[in-house]
Amino acid sequence: MEIKELGEFGLIERLTKDINPSNQSTVKGIGDDAAVLHYSDKETLVASHMFMEGIQFDLTYIDMQHLAYKCAMITMSNIFAMNGKPNQLIISIGLGKRFKVEDLDQFYKGLKAACGKWSVDIIGGDTTSSYTGLAINMTCIGEAAKNEIVYRNGAKPTDIICVSGDLGSAYMGLQILEREKTVFYQQVEEYNKKLKAAQEAGNTAAIKSLNAEREVIFNFQPDFAGKEYLIDRQLKPEAPGNILAQLRDSHIHPTAMIDISDGLASDLKHICKDSKCGCRIYEDKIPIDYQTAATCEEFNMNLTTAALNGGEDYELLFTIPISEHAKIEKMENIRQIGYITEQQLGEYIITRDGNEFKLLAQGWQEE
Amino acid sequence: MEIKELGEFGLIERLTKDINPSNQSTVKGIGDDAAVLHYSDKETLVASHMFMEGIQFDLTYIDMQHLAYKCAMITMSNIFAMNGKPNQLIISIGLGKRFKVEDLDQFYKGLKAACGKWSVDIIGGDTTSSYTGLAINMTCIGEAAKNEIVYRNGAKPTDIICVSGDLGSAYMGLQILEREKTVFYQQVEEYNKKLKAAQEAGNTAAIKSLNAEREVIFNFQPDFAGKEYLIDRQLKPEAPGNILAQLRDSHIHPTAMIDISDGLASDLKHICKDSKCGCRIYEDKIPIDYQTAATCEEFNMNLTTAALNGGEDYELLFTIPISEHAKIEKMENIRQIGYITEQQLGEYIITRDGNEFKLLAQGWQEE
């Protein structure tokens, strides 16, 4: 169905009719000039992200449902990274003419799935046309008690640097998707060449045989066997809310925290800069999934570079006082990868063979 | 300067280095995963808007500074329309390659001017590339005491319908800008034709004379004489905060309120729908500036249609109990244009000659 058949107000009504706010802090959601929230005894947290077609996402390999899910998880992840709880989400979307009402249905399906997972209310937004690609903006609002908020600037020398989950997997998932996309386009191009040649030669038998092949080519099934985890990490990332619950249960309060979106190196450097300190991390402590390692070998890529700079991990990177060492050690899914130092000692990674390399936001460099 | 020379972090630092939050409710602005706000004894209001190049704005006739100012005012206007005070603004921007650092400087200049006017803190946002046009999203956060918030749904039969300022002027401003743009493009096209003809004929004298003309053509100065107010209303709208102060000073509490963005007809229908009531407004009561009327005549357009459906007025449309009639009458800049009725009486405009026409979201129709 064309969007213009419904109009702006009709479209909004269709997409939002079954949205019912459930959080106590949501006084009024969709339907007025502004949403009304009640945050009496907690601090309010706000984070906003823009996602542009061709830059942050490629609709060749992510569908509207996964896209909405991913964008929502990324935005919520910022609230978790403050040790907060996300409560509300506002969505703006700029849509080119090629999108149909059904695309928006899929988008909202993914959005609702992501919000449902963390009991987040969809409280409003804006829908507009776009002359060009798809543009998405999400703003997440959450809460945290004042003394529970974890900023980037609280790390102290001797603090232990911890990271949840594993790193580099979303990046390697992207590599696989890019490769399959290339394979697909190559097949299409070759097919078109052959067809053109057959048509020019008037080779009816060849044209017939190529027409039979057509469906196989255009129903290309990418080969993800054994790489399912990586694809999932790229297309369906999860906000790290469970890690916070684990830390709370163990009465561990991080001194500094950030979610890993740009890559471990870049995000650890943010903590160091804001906390005015240095760091040492150990290459062999960085958590890496087996599929990530195997795929790096297959692609002839450096595994540590993928883990340090791949990005899109949406894991939590945080520091804890050294006194909490024993508590953390027991936790599945959290790895201690190094420690915080005085600022003048710089930011370094210690490789498996004992060498120290300066940590750079993009890659790492021998000194 | 190219944006890539600074990089994302360098650019953000340059644009935000002199931004210092001044509102008590801003605990932490730019620089962490999320902004931290403190809204203890008031309700939190949130509104978000997306602005896409070629849809909401045309960079042919609005510069980056005015654009930022306008987008910020529009977003703040939503908070005022709840009878709130805007406190914080979050800005996301998706930038095509053609934009330079200096364009962003201008954008932030306009942004800071708008925010400064209403003591609003810039507390964060997102900067990304765009393969195509400019995409902007702004989210405004504000506050209001629970019993002061004015929703769209509180209008009651016999309530008086009021509107601030005047209507249709921003729309007529747009008509003038569109006309001047057309004139400019026609001149350029004619010039290019003449130049091509001269070149093909090898007419050196004509080419020389055309080259001399070139600067005049491309430094086109549009003719806005006598239309300055309309251009201003289109390019530099103001959020209606002063009207709220006036109402508060007179102890008038509107029963329903909305800001006029889509046009009086459409926005009044929102109030009627949400309040489950009807309305009568009088054509001759609708406030119209002299320049708007003169320009409508010049363009051979219907003045009432421009006022009812032009949009982008960013004036306040609100209803008050009939008992407040005398108080409102004294107020400069606020006009009483009609009254609220029972829902079954429908939504009508009464023309100068006493006819009733059904109010339609787009235009109005004889029944």
What CATH number has the domain bearing residue B351? Answer: 3.90.650.10
Q: Does A135 touch chain B (CB under 8 A)?
A: yes
Number of domains in chain B: 2
The CATH number of the domain holding residue B112 is 3.30.1330.10
Assign B167 a pLDDT band (cuts: 50, 70, 90).
very high
The verdict on a CB contact (< 8 Å) between A126 and B94 is no
Q: Does B244 touch chain A (CB under 8 A)?
A: no
Determine, yes or no, domain membership for B188.
Answer: no
Determine, yes or no, domain membership for A89.
Answer: yes
Encoded tokens for B55 = 């849809």
| Distance (Å, whole) CA B121 – CA B101 | 22
Query: Are residues B260 and B308 located together in one domain of the fold?
Result: yes
Mean pLDDT of B200-223: 83
Determine, yes or no, domain membership for A225.
Answer: no
**DSSP per-residue string spanning A36-49:** EE--SSSEEEEEEE
State the pTM of this model. Answer: 0.91
Least Cα separation, residue A245 to chain B (angstroms): 19
Query: Are residues B125 and B237 located together in one domain of the fold?
Result: no
Share of chain B above pLDDT 90, in %: 70
Query: Are residues B110 and B17 located together in one domain of the fold?
Result: yes
**Digit-coded pLDDT (tens) for A307-343:** 999 999 999 999 999 999 999 998 989 999 999 999 9
ipTM comes to: 0.89
A45, A56, A130, A137: which to substitute to probe chain B, counting the most B Cβ within 10 Å?
A137
- B75 burial level (CB within 10 Å; 0-12, 13-18, 19+): buried
pLDDT for res A5: 81
pLDDT for res B228: 92
Q: Which of B128, B133, B151 sits opposite A132 (nearest CB)?
A: B133
Measured in Å, how far apart are chain B's first and last C-alpha atoms? 60
Average predicted confidence (pLDDT) for chain B: 91
Encoded tokens for B157 = 């039969």
Query: Are residues B48 and B94 located together in one domain of the fold?
Result: yes
pLDDT for res A239: 94
Determine, yes or no, domain membership for A364.
Answer: no
- A43 burial level (CB within 10 Å; 0-12, 13-18, 19+): buried
Query: Are residues A165 and A63 located together in one domain of the fold?
Result: no
- Alpha helix segments (H runs only) across B28-168: 64-80, 101-117
The verdict on a CB contact (< 8 Å) between B92 and A43 is no
Strand pairing report for B277-282 and B334-342: antiparallel
Encoded tokens for A315 = 């894991």
Q: Tell whether residue B152 is among the known ligand binding residues.
A: yes
Q: Tell whether residue A152 is among the known ligand binding residues.
A: yes
Cβ pair A7, B262 in contact under 8 A? no
Query: For chains A and B, what is the number of CB pairs under 8 angstroms?
Result: 201
Query: Are residues B75 and B164 located together in one domain of the fold?
Result: no
The verdict on a CB contact (< 8 Å) between A94 and B52 is yes
Residues of chain A with pLDDT under 70: 362-367
Determine, yes or no, domain membership for A97.
Answer: yes
Does B364 score more than 60 pLDDT?
A: no
Does B310 score more than 80 pLDDT?
A: yes
The verdict on a CB contact (< 8 Å) between A135 and B50 is yes
| Distance (Å, whole) CA A360 – CA B4 | 18
Query: Are residues B248 and B282 located together in one domain of the fold?
Result: yes
Determine, yes or no, domain membership for B186.
Answer: no
**Digit-coded pLDDT (tens) for B275-292:** 999 999 999 999 999 999
CB interface of A with B, residues 139-158, below 8 Å = 139-142, 144, 146, 149, 151-153
B44, B60, B136: which to substitute to probe chain A, counting the most A Cβ within 10 Å?
B44
Encoded tokens for A188 = 């299409």
Write out chain B residues lying below 8 Å of A4, CB-based.
none
Query: Are residues B238 and B341 located together in one domain of the fold?
Result: yes
pLDDT for res A362: 67
Buried b (16+ CB within 10 A) or exposed e, B40-66: eebbbbbbbbbbbbebbbeeebbebbb
Assign B362 a pLDDT band (cuts: 50, 70, 90).
low
Least Cα separation, residue B101 to chain A (angstroms): 19
Query: Are residues B163 and B278 located together in one domain of the fold?
Result: yes
For B174, the enclosing helix (H) or strand (E) is helix B169-201
**Domain of residue A79, residue span:** 3-144
| Distance (Å, whole) CA A120 – CA A26 | 10
Query: Are residues A120 and A9 located together in one domain of the fold?
Result: yes
User: What secondary structure, in 3-state letters, does A285-296 show?
Assistant: HCCCCHHHHHHH
Cβ pair B86, B148 in contact under 8 A? no
pLDDT for res A117: 95
**Digit-coded pLDDT (tens) for B224-273:** 888 999 999 999 999 999 999 999 999 999 999 999 999 999 999 999 99
Q: Does B110 touch chain A (CB under 8 A)?
A: no
pLDDT for res A60: 87
Determine, yes or no, domain membership for B152.
Answer: no
Encoded tokens for B281 = 């407004």
Encoded tokens for A235 = 């297309």
Query: Are residues B169 and B316 located together in one domain of the fold?
Result: yes
Determine, yes or no, domain membership for A43.
Answer: yes
Bridge partners for B53 per DSSP: B57
pLDDT for res A150: 96
Query: Are residues A166 and A138 located together in one domain of the fold?
Result: no
Bridge partners for B100 per DSSP: B2
Cβ neighbors of A210 (< 8 A, separation 6 or more) are A191, A194, A195, A198
Q: How crowded is residue A258: how many other Cβ atoms within 10 Å of its Cβ? A: 25
A27, A33, A41, A87: which to substitute to probe chain B, counting the most B Cβ within 10 Å?
A33
